[in-house]
Amino acid sequence: MTRRQYPNPPIEEAVCEFRFAPGPVWNFTIPGLFYEKIRDFYTGEPQRQTSIETEFQVRSQSLNPELTVRPGWTKLLLPSADANKLVAVVPDLVSVHALRPYEGWDEFKQRIDRAFDVYVDVAKPVGVTRIALRYINQIAIPTNLEIELSDYFTIYPQVPADGIPSRMSAFLTRTELIYEDIPIRLVLNFSDAVSPPGKAGQVVIVLDLEISQEWVEKPLPLEEALSTLYELRQREGQAFESLITDRTRELFDVIE
């Protein structure tokens, strides 16, 4: 089973991330080289985000711990002109983002391929240590009434029949699963959400799926990374379809 075609997909954000085994020492010129090779599409204003690292040190002769704060890595964030498509670069990592309205897998895949190839060209990593694909789905069910989650999803929180209230006002569940044939991890986050301003009269459900694979002892060869990503994509599509019902598919204007 693969993901069906949805003219109105519920995807709020899609993210593809590659973590690399480093080659040469990272230096400040690499983000600039990356930007020069990809700026023809990402024409929005580049942004830089610097992380902060903190460290506590307890010395034997002092009763008070010392707190050290120093700048960490700097992320280069490159948006498209409409800011709905982005790519981010930090040492040993590149991620590609698609915001609502989702552009579709074919276009998303083209951007992923290009970002991967450009990063490999300028940073020269020796392999890949992690690939992750994440889809954050925000599903709006038009109703002013309470709903039965089982009408829309095959996964939902359940409570005992007796002893506690049966009316659910909010929920949040997280499930981590490992495939048996390949050590691929699937993380499911399922929760309710607040309706966006101006869109009262609907129930909003978040179905957040991240599928990933890691290579700890020996990095994955670079030439195998994109085919591995497509395998993850197929499994993510199967997982998504198995978690929703036909009633939910109708909300996305499904094409059979």
The mean pLDDT value for 224-243 works out to 96
DSSP summary character for residue 206: E
The mean pLDDT value for 58-66 works out to 59
CA-wise closest residue to 186 among 143, 239, 131, 248: 239
Report yes or no: 223 and 230 within 8 Å, Cβ to Cβ: no
The pTM of the full predicted model, rounded to 2 decimals, is: 0.87
The pLDDT, as a whole number, for residue 182 is 93
Q: How many CB atoms lie within 10 A of CB 11?
A: 20
pLDDT digits (tens, 9 = 90+) for 34-49: 999 999 999 999 988 7
Any idea which residue has 């569940």 for tokens? 173
The mean pLDDT value for 162-175 works out to 82
State the sign of the Cα–Cα–Cα–Cα dihedral 38, 211, 26, 217.
negative
28 confidence band (pLDDT: 50, 70, 90): confident
From CA 204, how far away is CA 200, in angstroms rounded?
Answer: 10
Q: Which amino acid is at 1?
A: M
The mean pLDDT value for 229-256 works out to 92
From CA 140, how far away is CA 161, in angstroms rounded?
Answer: 28
- Judged by average pLDDT, the poorest of 23-32, 68-77, 198-207, 220-229 is 68-77
Query: Which positions ≥6 away from 69 have C-beta within 8 Å?
Result: 52, 53, 54
From CA 18, how far away is CA 232, in angstroms rounded?
Answer: 13
Instruction: Please determine, for residue 121, whether its predicted confidence score (pLDDT) is greater than 60.
Output: yes
Where in the chain are the domains?
11-52+68-251
